[in-house]
Amino acid sequence: MILILNQNVSEELKNDLRKEVTSKGLKIHESQGEKTTIWGLVGDTTRIDEDQIGIHPAVSEVKRIQKPYKLASREMHPEDSVVEICGRKIGGGHFDVIAGPCSIETKEQIIEVANDVKNSGAGLLRGGAFKPRTSPYSFQGLHGQGLELLLEAKKATRLPIVTELMSTSHIELFGDVDVIQIGARNMQNFELLKEVGKLKTPILLKRGLANTLDELLMSAEYIMAGGNENVILCERGIRTFETSMRNTLDLSAIPMLKKKTHLPIVIDPSHAAGLRWMVEPLSLAAIAAGADGLMIEVHNNPEKALCDGAQSLTPADFDALMKKIQKSVEFFRELR
């Protein structure tokens, strides 16, 4: 972090600032010019709040050089992280597909879809028991009963399961869940992040609709700082001015995150556009851009789905897509 001091700052103010900075364990490297005094702060500046130090009466400008996250940063951990889930791997060259319905509706539904996606080659099963819905009048999920049905589908197919946790008060129900999803709307629900940071379960952390990549990594840092380093990042579309799709999938997030962090990155093309016919081109583009995995909604009867049918593939469509996904993964593995 670089502090540019005000011209003609008094020694008293400089001393006060020096005390504040060194009290946080940082060293100061002063560069004294004719007019400008510049301080380079050396040490762990993640503990310094730029806005706060910027209003010290001795300070004219603050420029952060170091990233505000550590555990999530590529600098601290140059090798790709690989997250293991019941023997399956995501990251560091390992690619996998998470598939299943938006919400768990009945035992028949979830088991049928689970069998279908497994046969097509999906590595993990998704299904929502607690559903974040914009309207209080929309279907909110089957809650505990939904989790039980999902566990039955896991037993029937041996697919590890991925499902969303919306509140710290439900956490004890998630003991047998293989990957806990933190949804986009809860990306900055910091109390929830702290709680899942205490677990060992892998966390699929979705980027918020209007959150920067650095904020996504700060939320990952919350989980990792608590001791849980099994974090998978997920880009699912951001909010822009464009109205012809639900959200704008930010595929440049993939190479940028690969530069910033060692954590694996999964893309959710189903939620991004909200349109099933877009899932294929966006899935293939995600692979081409270097994604470590995909998360795709599949429903055995999309027209009658209780949630997000418009973006769900039928099992037959998913099967056709999986063949293209597998070929593409292989193609790009060789190309690079």
Which residues ranging from 175 to 234 are in contact with its own copies (CB under 8 A)? 185-186, 188-192, 194, 208-210, 212-215, 218, 221-222, 225-226
Q: How many residues bind its own copies (CB under 8 A)?
A: 104
Site residues (CB under 8 A) for its own copies, limited to 265-304: 272-274, 277-278, 281-282, 284-290, 302-303
User: Closer CB to its own copies, residue 78 or residue 87?
Assistant: 78
Task: Pick the stretch among 77-85, 86-94, 112-120, 132-140 that binds its own copies (CB under 8 A).
Answer: 132-140
User: Closer CB to its own copies, residue 157 or residue 283?
Assistant: 283
Task: Pick the stretch among 90-98, 152-160, 172-180, 243-251 that binds its own copies (CB under 8 A).
Answer: 243-251
Alpha-carbon gap, residue 215 to 220, rounded angstroms: 9
Smallest distance from the beta carbon of 276 to its own copies, in angstroms? 8
User: Closer CB to its own copies, residue 55 or residue 175?
Assistant: 55
User: Closer CB to its own copies, residue 81 or residue 140?
Assistant: 140
172 is an interface residue for its own copies by CB under 8 A: no
135 is an interface residue for its own copies by CB under 8 A: yes
User: Closer CB to its own copies, residue 158 or residue 304?
Assistant: 304
Partners of 63 in the beta sheet?
2
Smallest distance from the beta carbon of 75 to its own copies, in angstroms? 13
User: Closer CB to its own copies, residue 81 or residue 312?
Assistant: 312
Which amino acid is residue 224, in one-letter code? M
User: Closer CB to its own copies, residue 158 or residue 277?
Assistant: 277
Smallest distance from the beta carbon of 158 to its own copies, in angstroms? 30
Chain position carrying tokens 């028949």: 108
Binding track over 85-114 against its own copies, x by CB under 8 A = ------------------------------
Site residues (CB under 8 A) for its own copies, limited to 24-83: 29, 31-34, 36, 38, 40, 46-47, 49, 51-52, 54-57, 61, 63, 65, 68-69
Smallest distance from the beta carbon of 331 to its own copies, in angstroms? 5
Supply the angle between the helices 253-260 and 213-225 in degrees, to the nearest 10: 40
Binding track over 137-156 against its own copies, x by CB under 8 A = xx-x----------------
User: Closer CB to its own copies, residue 88 or residue 194?
Assistant: 194
Site residues (CB under 8 A) for its own copies, limited to 2-21: 2, 4
255 is an interface residue for its own copies by CB under 8 A: yes
As to burial, measured by CB atoms within 10 angstroms (0-12 exposed, 13-18 middle, 19+ buried), residue 43 is middle
Secondary structure, 3-state, the chain: CEEEECCCCCHHHHHHHHHHHHCCCCEEEEEECCCCEEEEEECCHHHCCHHHHHCCCCEEEEECCCCCCCCCECCCCCCCCCEEECCEEEECCECEEEEECCECCCHHHHHHHHHHHHHHCCCEEECECCCCCCCCCCCCCCCHHHHHHHHHHHHHHCCCEEEECCCHHHHHHHCCCCEEEECHHHCCCHHHHHHHHCCCCCEEEECCCCCCHHHHHHHHHHHHHCCCCCEEEEECCECCCCCCCCCECCCCHHHHHHHHECCCEEECHHHHHCCHHHHHHHHHHHHHHCCCEEEEEECCCHHHCCCCHHHCECHHHHHHHHHHHHHHHHHHHHHC
